Amino acid sequence: MIEAYPPASTVLEHRAATIDFEPVVNCALPGPVGRVHEHIRLQPLGSGVTVHGRGVEDAGASMRAALMMAAAADRPELALMCPARPVVRVVEPDSERFRRPWPVLIFVHGGGWVTGSLRSYAALISSFAARGFLTLAPAYRLAPEHVYPAAELDVLSCVRFAQQHAASFGGDAARMVLAGDSAGAQICAGVIARLAAKSDESNEAGDIRAAAVLYAVADLRSLETPELHGIRRMRDWYLGEGRCGDRGVIEQASPVMHARTMPPTVVVAAGEDALRGQSLAYGAALRAASVEHELIDVPDVPHGFLQCGLWPETSRTLDRVKAFLLEAAS
């Protein structure tokens, strides 16, 4: 059973901070998008990361520090990570190409729950905005420093923010969809399941009109094959070393166990992805639960292919995802 999520005040207290949604940075990204808002007081690159050792408790910080140091060699930038405070990036569509109010898309980045950032996913986030969605992307807490369900609670905070403030950016909260890739897709499905657990008391579950599940980790029970060993290890960090053997926790965190709670859903599978079987199994679970869905199985592309333009299938697949989401949200 999915445990009911706490009220917003509890979520924010758990983060030991309050959300400051006053825009403090407006910057432009390449491509046909509008303004970009960063809802955080930025810190110099790397200032939010400290690595104390090489134990499992530092694994996520070590990965992120290495990625940030490599990125810093290319150009100086500001880090969007601030462990004590939430981060939400808001990317507006081009107002000359798309008429307001825009549909709202909340995108949850992947990275195996232990890495990934708004910076590393900037291109994909902008791709949704370039297709007419007011796009909000939360930077959720990462494992192993923060274990399940911390990431889901952070994304829930972003959903509530979008419900309350999307109109101020030109968005239509009545046409809200969720999207995520890889581990981010697992988090999206978990958020929707938590909302569904409260559907008898509020209408929040109905506010999510559709979902895009992009090459997801859909069944955390089925990661025992050799090619999924690395993902299984990241799953254990995500769940917490003391809970990774708890079947109840594993099932609660597995989207296939809660397929019936999903709104109309588009599933993308990558033909050369070790997780392709998980995407196909999730599509089958949606079908068994009589959930409206579309399965897009793209041959000859790897996991994460939507993040770059190396394949012509990238743009075509994103266009199909857009078409499904817009029709379901209309």
Give the alpha-carbon dihedral of 256, 113, 152, 283, to 10 degrees: -20
For 58, phi and psi rounded to 5 degrees? -110, 5
Top-confidence range, 76-85, 95-104, 191-200: 95-104
> How far, in Å, CA of 266 to CA of 210, rounded?
8
**Cut 0.95: pTM above it:** no
What are the tens digits of pLDDT across the range 246-270? 999 999 999 999 999 999 999 999 9
- pLDDT of 20 reads 33
Look at residue 245 in the predicted model and tell me its pLDDT: 84
Output 160 or 62, whichever has higher pLDDT.
160
pLDDT at 63 over 60: no
Q: Mind listing the pLDDT tens digit for each residue in 74-99? A: 322 222 333 344 588 999 999 999 99
In the chain, domain spans: 8-43+83-329
DSSP structural state of residue 62: H
C-alpha 204: how far from its chain's center? Answer: 18
Beta strands in 16-138 (DSSP E): 25-27, 33-38, 43-44, 78-79, 88-93, 102-108, 134-138
State whether CATH 3.40.50.300 applies to domain 8-43+83-329: no
Looking at residue 308, its pLDDT comes to 82
